[in-house]
Structure 1
């Protein structure tokens, strides 16, 4: 096995471990809502004008599943549907105060867990990790530009 392939396997295994932790809700803290609903809240929190249609691909689920998850979040008082200011026929999703508090608490918990995991790293190591992780995720999101460094090379 070549070195590149072995390194890729190590990265893949680490990503699987991260995904398992997230699936178990370990990074979301002690959330009173199911992990799938929490992911909806997380996705709405980072969107300017989330709709059920825009959430489905962001969550990696089909439209009916996204609709059910949104309905669950709405009925739990965590999300609300509001008329789109640009197109009144369309409803956008917005976190309620309770939903915002839940997302904020989870973010604080995740950041604390990450800070703890990197507590004995140097500033340079944390900075380099953040740079490389962002580059890695960008390459996953945009495979056509993979391999270029941050200077476009």
Structure 2
């Protein structure tokens, strides 16, 4: 964001998009147990697989990863291959359709994601250290609400056979 504080509701709402973009471009602070830049990018894929496993054990494929990330399947395939080579993901036969290959976190992937979650929390606590407890919790609550609404839009669009951007 700029150094100028938004004064009107319109200015504030116009500043949200660029702020999210800046968050996405910046890496997490090296607060505790730093995550390498390469592993940080791998967590994009690993998080999708982890969420699927936690969401009733949904099977995750390379195609589904591509959809979630909004990238070409060949890009997702390279990202998945990198995670497999690093020892964070394993391929397995689908229990629903033996012709299909699904992805699971390896023990190393599970460990990396646990370390990443601790790192995310430590970073959040470091950045908001001089905030009131009420402000810290309110931002956390609103971020979760925002992400849930975004997921809801994605699921509605998928059920209509299109992506949210189309």
What is the TM-score normalised by the length of structure 1?
0.77
Contact 2:60–2:103 (CA under 8 A) maintained in structure 1 = yes
**Cα–Cα, structure 1 residues 26 and 45, in superposed 2: closer, same or farther, change >3 Å?**
farther
CA–CA distance in structure 2, aligned partners of residues 61 and 34 of structure 1: 19
| Pairs aligned (count) | 142
* 1:37 CA displacement: 2.7
Q: Which runs of 5+ in 2 are unaligned?
A: 1-6, 54-58, 155-166
- Which residue of structure 1 aligns with residue 142 of structure 2? 132
**Cα–Cα, structure 1 residues 34 and 117, in superposed 2: closer, same or farther, change >3 Å?**
closer
RMSD, aligned CA: 2.7
- Which residue of structure 2 aligns with residue 46 of structure 1? 51
CA–CA distance in structure 2, aligned partners of residues 6 and 34 of structure 1: 36
- SS state at 1:121 partner: coil
Contact 2:61–2:101 (CA under 8 A) maintained in structure 1 = yes
Contact 1:29–1:110 (CA under 8 A) maintained in structure 2 = no
**Cα–Cα, structure 1 residues 115 and 69, in superposed 2: closer, same or farther, change >3 Å?**
same
* 1:12 CA displacement: 2.2
Q: Which runs of 5+ in 1 are unaligned?
A: 145-153
* 1:140 CA displacement: 3.8
**Cα–Cα, structure 1 residues 142 and 94, in superposed 2: closer, same or farther, change >3 Å?**
closer
- Which residue of structure 2 aligns with residue 61 of structure 1? 71
CA–CA distance in structure 2, aligned partners of residues 83 and 102 of structure 1: 24
* 1:64 CA displacement: 0.8
2:83 is the counterpart of 1:78? no
CA–CA distance in structure 1, aligned partners of residues 68 and 80 of structure 2: 13
What is the TM-score normalised by the length of structure 2?
0.71
Q: Which runs of 4+ in 1 moved over 6 A?
A: none
